[in-house]
Amino acid sequence: MPDDIKPVTTMDLARMKRDGRRIVMLTAYDALFAALLDDAGVDVILVGDSLNTVLCGEPTTLSATLEQMIYHGRIVRRGVSRALVAVDMPFLSYQVSVEDAKLTAGRVLKEAGVEGVKLEGGAPMAPTVAALVEIGIPVMGHLGFTPQSLHALGGYRVQGRGADAVRGLVDDARALEDAGAFSIVLELMPSDAARQVTEAVSIPTIGIGSGPHCDGQVLVLHDMLGLNRGFEPKFLKRYAELADDVQEAVRSYATEVREGRYPDPDHAYEG
């Protein structure tokens, strides 16, 4: 790592919230994209279990494996000098028992070399979060729509509508903070609900589909780059249309190969 690059830490994220500086987070699944994000100044890179749907074509994140997450965490970490890297704990790698969670989360930190793990759930997961933090594993929480509970929640639905639901989210966030979580992702909730949660805790909140009042924002990289044409939720803003660019480049390549124009003399070696 170059001497002039200071890595982002969990303490830096807490300081950013106190100072009112917004946190920038994106997903990445490989070293090449991770390096591009890191060079662009992203604060946090999440190796999300969304890789199971985005890269592997699976319908949900539920079949992601621990080995999958460790592998992608490791290769993302190779591309990063500055950003904090966190890895999603896959379904059933932390819910069965606290001891299981210690072993699996410990493997992620040890084998991937990342700075933290993310797990889903509120107050019921607080003892697990506390146990991980106690043995030195930084934990990011996740409230609102939790993809690993897709079927229990009745599909991709906004969470936290109504006063009782908001109170529940606030209670969950406070439980995660008390357990030692260093931040919380808030997914698919009304803007005002996310604001109340954000104001209720001293740790940063990172929103996705939860409005402008969170302490930071996260998107899936392939979605915001316009590579995932079939995914168009209301909250998603596309900052590029790379699917069009990729297809046009491939068509140009195919045409030149078929017409014998590639490789030309500029792209061939002489004897």
Active-site residues: which are they? 187
SS3 107: helix
User: Alpha carbon of 219 to those of 24, 69, 130, 213, 237: distances in Å?
Assistant: 9, 18, 27, 15, 9
* DSSP code of residue 108: I
The C-alpha atoms of residue 92 and residue 100 are separated, in whole angstroms, by 9
Cis peptide before 263 (omega within 30 of 0): yes
Q: Of the candidates 183, 186, 198, 120, which has an alpha carbon nearest to the alpha carbon of residue 159?
A: 186
Q: How many other C-beta atoms are found inside a 10 Å radius of the C-beta of residue 25?
A: 25
Q: Of the candidates 217, 213, 219, 176, which has an alpha carbon nearest to the alpha carbon of residue 198?
A: 213
User: Alpha carbon of 131 to those of 110, 229, 254: distances in Å?
Assistant: 17, 40, 55
Q: Considering all CA atoms of the chain, what is the largest pairwise distance in Å, rounded to the nearest integer? A: 77
